A and B are shown apart, each in its own frame.
Chain A
Amino acid sequence: MRKGPSWFNVVSITLGFVFLYLPILLLVVYSFNESRLVTVWAGFSTKWYGEMLRNQALMDAAWVTVRVALLSASVATVLGTLGAVTLTRFGRFPGRTMFSGMIYAPLVMPDVILGLSLLLMFVAVGLDRGFWTVVLAHTTFTMCYVAVVVQSRLVAFDRDLEEAAMDLGCPPMKTFFLITLPIILPAVVAGWMLAFTLSLDDLVIASFATGPGATTLPMKIYSQVRLGVTPEINAVSTVLIVIVTIGVIIASVTTKRQEVARQKAERMAAAAP
């Protein structure tokens, strides 16, 4: 039996990753194109980044998006964590099936349905659409992602730790904050990051939920893209890609480093008498 990858494995991985990364790479490369025609290379230039920074509407939209994402991700993290605790620590209470249904459904529900239904509700209760309705909408769909991420950590969580704390005199609520939360914190942070980027990316739900004066960056990009490809959008995209990439790499390198340190300590402890 072969242990390593065969030539077929190597070729499929290579082709797969070329397919995944080539378009992004081209997009980044052409953001440094001198020409206004995106597809004709006319020399290196960073002028589109300057254009982008001078585009007040674009910058306003970016600022709105960041504020929406920060707010909705933070609320969604609290709600989603509570939801995950509900799913894993409260047994079979009445209505649990419906609750888990409401947690899982938004993960696959088409955005157009989520967006439309939220908008119609905002109108029905007479809520003025704008910044806050986008925050509400984003909180609702991202909290489900947070709940799933945190839940999978809580399921793997050693319940003995919570029982040990209670056995030593710690009431349940305090146990959650002293024992459970610090241990599942990486999952909670990952949930927050996921919620943040999902909010940052969302076009469809925001388009439905928003009102005058609250245009998010994806909406701005979308309306410009419909008019045609511009190097300025390439520049914005590149900035977003770089930020997300750096974030993901930092997150995975730190977890990896912690993991390596932990394994090393474990090996040393095992070697000790």
Chain B
Amino acid sequence: MSDISESAGHKANPLRWLVVAIPYLWLLVFFLAPFFIVFKISLSQVAIAMPPYVPAFDLAAGISRFFADLKELTFSNYLWLTEDALYWKSYLSSVGIALVSTLILLAIGFPVAYGMARSPKAWRPTLLMLVILPFWTSFLIRVYAWIGILKKEGLLNQFLLWVGAINEPLTIINTNTAVYIGIVYSYLPFMILPLYASLEKLDETLLEAASDLGCPPTKAFWLITFPLALPGVIAGSFLCFIPIVGEFVIPDLLGGSETMMIGKTLWSEFFNNRDWPVSSAVAVLLLLILVVPIVVFQNSQMKAMEAGK
């Protein structure tokens, strides 16, 4: 009903707005402002210097200079991105890989989350902690662990040869398969947690009521359980899909030359080719792809927060 801002008496203390101002300014300076700089640099020309670009415009140089610069503004970097197949292919392939891996994550995560939600109450905290624990351990280390497993002379091939399932070692590392395995492995906790949260809230008596009204268990799952778990499905999917599109570590360590993902492209454009303007343009376009899912995700999060009140 009442927030501090509306209540009586609090208006007296303007210092309390510092509470808002400090984190607000911090994020404006260190989160929002950098995006404008990225955008600005994406319109600049590459140069061999430090920093390795010619500024597109510089407000410090005065207004007239600003307008002069404005005329010289160039979308050449963006044109370059559309002309070179490498870029749009890696955009498409990033989105494709993210979509497919989100579906795989859903297919694997749902049964696990469902099993956890239906396990005896006493086990649940332990199971939950077991899901959260990998989330706290280093992402890099967990991806690294798979290199030793998927290598040509790695543990998986050793095992399969020993069992006799294969005669020749499989080539998994440096392929898209390895990338999928790495992504699914790394993001599984992100999928399980929101799914579990919504499945755990599910009232058992709803299923009893459905069964009492003549609905067999499988049908009840699709008519009752799944629709009610939908918020978890949506949250989990966004939570995985968005960062996967921009993933760098996994395609870099597990993928090969055929693996094209935009995060990797941006990284090599920046660190290997030292082309800051082009990597900025790549970042701007990546952001544009992700803006819609991010906004949708935020709205659903905020709605959940409001509902929590």
Cβ 8 A contact of B308, one of A92, A101, A156, A226: A156
Q: How far is the CB of B198 from chain A (nearest CB, A)?
A: 15
- Stretch from A42-50, A55-63, A116-124, A264-272 forming part of the interface with B: A116-124
Number of A interface residues in the complex (CB < 8 A): 95
- The answer to whether A221 and B140 have CB atoms under 8 Å apart is yes
- The answer to whether B298 and A105 have CB atoms under 8 Å apart is yes
Cβ 8 A contact of B139, one of A116, A201, A234: A201
CA distance A22 to B140 in the complex (A): 16
Per-residue B-contact encoding for A186-208, CB less than 8 Å = 1, 0 else = 00000000000100110110011
**Which residues in B have their C-beta under 8 angstroms from that of A113?**
38, 246, 283, 286-287
> Do A155 and B5 form a contact, CB below 8 Å, given A102-B31, A121-B34?
no
In the complex, whether A213 has a CB less than 8 A from a CB of chain B is no
CA distance A233 to B145 in the complex (A): 10
Chain B residue nearest to A247 in the complex (CB): B136
In the complex, whether A30 has a CB less than 8 A from a CB of chain B is yes
Of A16, A201, A204, most buried by chain B (CB within 10 Å of CB) is: A16
> Majority SS of interface residues in chain A?
helix
> Do A118 and B34 form a contact, CB below 8 Å, given A1-B204, A248-B132?
yes
CA distance A89 to B158 in the complex (A): 58
Per-residue B-contact encoding for A234-272, CB less than 8 Å = 1, 0 else = 100100110011011100100010000000000000000
CA distance A40 to B134 in the complex (A): 26
- The answer to whether A120 and B147 have CB atoms under 8 Å apart is no
List residues of B (86-130) whose CB comes within 8 Å of A's CBs.
Answer: 108-109, 111-112, 114-116, 118-120, 125, 127, 129-130
In the complex, whether A17 has a CB less than 8 A from a CB of chain B is yes
In the complex, whether A147 has a CB less than 8 A from a CB of chain B is yes
Q: How far is the CB of B272 from chain A (nearest CB, A)?
A: 12
Chain B contact residues (Cβ within 8 angstroms of A): what range? 35 or more
In the complex, whether A24 has a CB less than 8 A from a CB of chain B is yes
CA distance A13 to B141 in the complex (A): 23
**Which residues in A have their C-beta under 8 angstroms from that of B243?**
108-111
CA distance A21 to B116 in the complex (A): 16
CA distance A156 to B20 in the complex (A): 20
> Do A140 and B133 form a contact, CB below 8 Å, given A10-B115, A116-B270?
no
CA distance A13 to B124 in the complex (A): 11
> Majority SS of interface residues in chain B?
helix
- The answer to whether A155 and B149 have CB atoms under 8 Å apart is no
Of A12, A21, A99, A103, most buried by chain B (CB within 10 Å of CB) is: A12
List residues of A (14-36) whose CB comes within 8 Å of B's CBs.
Answer: 15-17, 19-21, 23-24, 26-27, 30
List residues of B (18-47) whose CB comes within 8 Å of A's CBs.
Answer: 19-20, 22-24, 26-28, 30-35, 37-38, 41
Q: How far is the CB of A117 from chain B (nearest CB, A)?
A: 4
Q: Which A positions have Cβ atoms within 8 angstroms of B? A: 1, 3-6, 8-10, 12-13, 15-17, 19-21, 23-24, 26-27, 30, 38-40, 79-80, 82-83, 85-86, 89-93, 95, 99-106, 108-113, 116-118, 120-121, 123-124, 136-137, 139-140, 143, 147, 151-152, 155-156, 171-173, 197, 200-201, 203-204, 207-208, 218, 221-222, 225-226, 229, 233-234, 237, 240-241, 244-245, 247-249, 252, 256
Q: Which B positions have Cβ atoms within 8 angstroms of A? A: 3-6, 10, 13, 15-16, 19-20, 22-24, 26-28, 30-35, 37-38, 41, 51, 108-109, 111-112, 114-116, 118-120, 125, 127, 129-134, 136-142, 144-149, 151, 153-155, 158, 185, 188-189, 192, 204, 207-208, 211, 238-239, 242-243, 245-249, 253, 263, 266-267, 270-271, 276, 279-280, 283, 286-287, 290, 294, 297-298, 301-302, 305, 308-309
- 10 A-B Cβ contacts within 8 A? A12-B115, A24-B137, A79-B26, A82-B23, A90-B5, A112-B246, A155-B305, A222-B140, A244-B133, A247-B136
